Amino acid sequence: MNIITQLVILTLSLLLVNADQYCDNLLKQYNTFKTKCSPDLITINSCCDLTGFTLSKAPSAVYQMMTNCNCGSPFNTVTADVYCDMNTTDGGWTVMQRNRKDSTVDFNKNWIQYEAGFGDLSQDFWYGLEAIHCLTQTGQWEMRVDYQKNDKTWSYLHYNQFSVGSASEEYPLTIGGFTAEGSDWFTYHNGMKFSTPDNDNDKTSGNCAASGKSGWWYNSCYNINTNSQPPFVSGNVLFTEMKIRPKDCITH
């Protein structure tokens, strides 16, 4: 059986399989992943690893990602769970935050909790400052915020530059290159250190994190705060989701 015939058979089979079977077929065809291929057991280096398959579409799901950024204990683990968004603009996004109005997850956390991350990756969560820093400390990254307004319509913000500094710098935000339609709410926070109720780094004489009951890159105080309750994008909204990926993700 020649290679073209094999690919035709594999393509037809992929039309009839569920997500687990799709993974198993990719394992056999490409031998890409090292673990048994159920979406929450795949070991990847980044969500971008899931964009290279042309015979089938990887589902948005929780995956297992290698962490080799050497950020040090207690964050330098062998693997860590990550939610990959494979539907938005060709996929490959690492979701770093999700929050909805009346969320059951309390975003009024202290510094250590924001550093380590909290919540449920399949629902509402904050991925963790140290993990976000580890991901963005090398290469060039883009960031997108999808949000649902109170009238149930959707919009988004997109930035061509995004990174978070180290713990010793108190995780300052670098963001720029706004490209989406609408207003640029995030640039106001560019260069700001992260603040929590117990670690105030904003520019005011008060404590924006304490009054806002959430950690954020506060300035004086904010134009956008997706960690507030309800989430805020120049006004209260119903839902926010922040996601990042390397700028060369799709070509990669």
Structure letter (DSSP) for residue 236: B
On whether both 36 and 134 belong to a single domain, the answer is no
On whether both 60 and 125 belong to a single domain, the answer is no
Look at residues 51, 86, 121 and tell me which one is the last residue of a structural domain: 86
Q: What digits encode the pLDDT tens for the residues 1-55?
A: 555 444 444 443 443 344 455 455 444 443 444 334 444 455 677 888 888 655 5
On whether both 119 and 239 belong to a single domain, the answer is yes
On whether both 76 and 100 belong to a single domain, the answer is no
Q: What digits encode the pLDDT tens for the residues 144-189?
A: 999 999 999 999 999 999 999 999 999 999 999 999 877 999 999 9
Q: How many domains does the chain have?
A: 2
Contact 88, 116 (CB under 8 A): no
Looking at residue 26, what is its pLDDT? 46
On whether both 157 and 35 belong to a single domain, the answer is no
Contact 147, 141 (CB under 8 A): no
Q: How far apart are CA 169 and CA 178, in angstroms?
A: 24
On whether both 95 and 149 belong to a single domain, the answer is yes
Measured CA to CA in angstroms, residue 147 lies from 144, 154, 242 at distances of 10, 6, 9
Window from 15-19, 77-81, 87-91 with minimum mean pLDDT: 15-19
Measured CA to CA in angstroms, residue 228 lies from 203, 225, 238, 250 at distances of 18, 6, 11, 32
Contact 143, 242 (CB under 8 A): yes
